[in-house]
A and B are shown apart, each in its own frame.
Chain A
Amino acid sequence: MGIIQISLSVSVLILFIAVLRVLFIYKISRNTIMLLWKLVMLRLLIPFPIPSVSFNFNGWNKNFDIASMAAKGLANKQILNSNTVYQVGDVSNKFSESVTQYINPFLWIWIIGFGISFIIFFKAYRKSYSFLRESLPIIDDITVSEWMGEQKLKRKVSVMVSDKITTPITFGIWKPKIVLPKNMNYQNQQQLKYVLSHEMVHIKKLDSFWKIISILVSCMHWFNPFVWLMYTFVNCDMEMACDEKVISIYGESEKSDYALTILYLAEQKSAYTILYNGFGKKPIKERVRAIMRYRKKSIFGISLSLAIILVTVLFLMLFPGNGKSLNRNEEAIKTVLEQIFTCPNQEMIEVYNNMFSRIQTSPLEENINNEIDKKLYEIYQPYISSKWYESFVMYFYSYLYVYSTTDGYEIAVDHIDIKRSDTIPTNYSFMVYLNYSKEGGEKNHTKIEGSAQFLEEKGKISYLQLFDKNLKLELMSSRN
C-alpha cells in the first residue's frame, strides 16, 4: 500500500516545514508557508508513488510496505509446500488469489479508519451548515453595499447575517457567502470593512476549497499523527496568511486598528467553525503578534522563501518512489526473457558442447553438469530470487535448453510488453513478441504470454510462468 510509504516520507517534510515556520517566523511570509502546505497536501492526496522520477530507500520500503510483507510471508509458505509449480499452459491464478485474500485485512483497516474520520468531520460540518444556511441577507446597510460595490470578483458574493453565530464565517466555493453575526457593531464602518476584507481574502484564495482538501487529506492519512499536526498548522497559517494579505492591502499604518478588530471579535464566544473560515478563534495572541510585527519581507527573506519552495518541490517529486524498483523489476523480466528466447545462444551452446565433449572423453567423471550450472547461475541468478532459484533451474532447465540451442532456428525477441498488476503491485504480466525463422525459411512471428512475481526482493523474480505450447513443440520436434 503505497499510501503508507508516501505518508511516512512526507512526514519528514512536514516536520521540516514545521521547524522552518518557527525559525523564520518573521522572515518568510505566511503565504509562503501556506504554499508549502498546499503542495504537501496535493502530494498526500495522490495515494500512489509517482514512477520514473523517484528513488526509494530499499530497506525503508521493505519495512513499511506492510501489504507486501504480509504477502511475502504467505508466498514463501506456498512455494515450499507446493508441488505443482510450473507447467506449460498452466494458467492457474491460485497463487495470486491467496495473496489477495491476505492483503485485504490491511485495506479494510484503512477503509474503516478513513470512514470514521470522515464521519466525524461530516457531522461537524452538518451541524455548522444547518444554522449557516438559515442566515438572512443583509439589507439597508450602507457600508456593506458600498464595500460590495468596490469588489471585483467573477463569482457573486453574498453577505448575510445570522443570529446564531458570534464571529464572521465565510463558506461556499462557487457562490461564496459571508455570514456576519447579528451582534456586531455595524456602526463602526472601519471595523466592518476590515471584517469584510478579511473574509474576501479568504474567498479570493479559495480557502474553503483548501479547507476541504486538508480535511480529506487528514482522513486519508488518519493513521499519521504528523498529518494531523499539519492540519492544525494549516488552519492557523491560513488565518495568518489572510491577515497578512489584508494588511498589505490597507497598509502597515492600519496594523493596530486591524489587530484591535480581531481582539474585539475574539472576545465573542465563537461557533464551531471546522469547515468554514471564521475570523479565527484559537491563536489570537499569535495572530496579533504576527500582525504587529508584519513587515515587507527583505531580499534575504524572499530568496530564503524561494529556496525553501524549491527544496520542497524537489522532495515531493523524488520521495518516495517505486520508480527505481519498478524499473528493476521490468529490467529483470526483460533480461531473463531475452536470455531465454535468444537462439542460437552462443554462450549456452559453447557450454553444452564442452559438456558433451567431456562426456565423450571421460564418461564417468562426476559433476559433468557443473559447467552448465555455473553458466546458468551466471546468467540468471542476478534476476531470480535466491529462494526460488533452485526451482527455476529445475523446471526451466529443459526449456532453456530448447529455446536457446535448437539447431537451425533463429529466435529473437522483438519486444516485450510488461504490465504491472493494479491490485497486486508485486505481480507483473507480460507478452513477449518473438521473431523466429527456420534456417533459410520465412520469418515467423509469435507471442507468448506470461507472468512474473517479485515477492522477495525488488528486481528478483520469485516466480515465473510462461504460457507457450506451440513454439516449444515445434522446436522440440525439429530437434528430433
Chain B
Amino acid sequence: MKLFDSEIKVMDVLWRYGDLSAGKIAKILKKEIEWNRNTTYTVIKKCINKGAIKRYEPNFMCRAMISREEIQRYEATELVDRLFDGSVEKLFATFLSNDYLSKEEISVLREYIENITKQQGKKSLDI
C-alpha cells in the first residue's frame, strides 16, 4: 500500500512503541514534530482507511497492521519499477558507481549476497 510521509511518520511511532492510544500518539508527535492533535488524528484516520492501522477499544487504541519491512519492500519495488525499468540490477548499479558506498558498506553487502546465495542454494538442493 502507498503511504504518504505523514502517514509513515505515524506508523513509525507505532513501530517504535507498539500499540498506543491515539491520544498518546498525538502527544508524542506534538513533542517531536509539533503537529497539533487534529492533524495527528486526521492522519491516523487515513491510515485506518488504508488498512495500515487497526483501531480497537477501549480508548481508541491503535495497532500497526503493516510492518516497517513490508512498507520498505513496497516502496523499494515501487522505486525500481518507476525509475529502473523494474530492474533491481540497475538500481544497484547506480549505488555501486559514483562512490556512493563506502568500503565497509560494500563488504557488508557482499556478505549479505553470499548468505542469500547460500540459502537459495540450500533450497534448490532440498528439492
Contacts and interface: CB of A to CB of B under 8 A. Distances in A.
Interface of A: 130, 133-137, 158, 161-164, 182
Contacts of A134: 4-6, 35, 39, 42-43
Contacts of A136: 5-6, 9, 33
Q: B-side binding surface: helix, strand, loop or mixed?
A: helix
Contacts of B4: 134, 163-164
A204 B9 CA distance: 31
Contacts of B42: 130, 134
Closest 3 CB pairs of A and B: A134-B6, A163-B5, A133-B39
A133 B35 contact: yes
A158 B33 CA distance: 11
Nearest to B39: A133
B75 to A, nearest CB: 12
A176 B7 CA distance: 23
15 contacts: A130-B42, A133-B35, A134-B4, A134-B5, A134-B42, A134-B43, A136-B5, A136-B6, A137-B34, A161-B5, A162-B5, A162-B6, A163-B5, A164-B4, A182-B5
Interface string B1-36: 000111001000000000000000000000001111
A67 B89 CA distance: 77
Interface in B42-58: 42-43
Nearest to A164: B4
B113 to A, nearest CB: 29
Nearest to B9: A136
A158 B4 CA distance: 21
**Number of chain B interface residues as a range:** 10 to 19
Interface of B: 4-6, 9, 33-36, 39, 42-43
A158 B6 CA distance: 17
Contacts of A164: 4
A22 B67 CA distance: 59
A164 to B, nearest CB: 7
A136 B39 CA distance: 12
B38 to A, nearest CB: 8
A135 B5 CA distance: 8
A164 B43 CA distance: 13
Nearest to B36: A133
A134 B39 CA distance: 7
A133 B4 CA distance: 13
A136 B6 CA distance: 7
A137 B39 contact: no
Contacts of B9: 136
B28 to A, nearest CB: 14
Interface centre among A130, A133, A158, A182 (most CB of B within 10 A): A133
A161 B36 CA distance: 17
Nearest to A134: B6
A137 B5 contact: no
A186 to B, nearest CB: 15
Contacts of A135: 6
Interface centre among A134, A136, A158, A163 (most CB of B within 10 A): A134
Given A134-B35, A162-B5, 11 more contacts: A134-B5, A134-B42, A135-B6, A136-B5, A136-B9, A136-B33, A158-B34, A162-B6, A163-B4, A163-B5, A164-B4
Contacts of A162: 5-6
B4 to A, nearest CB: 6
A201 to B, nearest CB: 24
B15 to A, nearest CB: 16
A161 B6 CA distance: 10
B36 to A, nearest CB: 8
B19 to A, nearest CB: 23
Contacts of B6: 134-136, 162-163
Nearest to B6: A134
A353 to B, nearest CB: 86
Nearest to B4: A163
Nearest to A162: B5
Contacts of B35: 133-134
Nearest to A158: B34
A130 B39 CA distance: 8
A234 B73 CA distance: 47
Contacts of A133: 35-36, 39
A170 B73 CA distance: 34
A136 B33 CA distance: 7
A162 B8 CA distance: 12
A133 B34 CA distance: 10
Nearest to A129: B39
Contacts of A130: 42
B90 to A, nearest CB: 20
A133 B5 CA distance: 12
Contacts of B5: 134, 136, 161-163, 182
Contacts of B43: 134
A338 B36 CA distance: 67
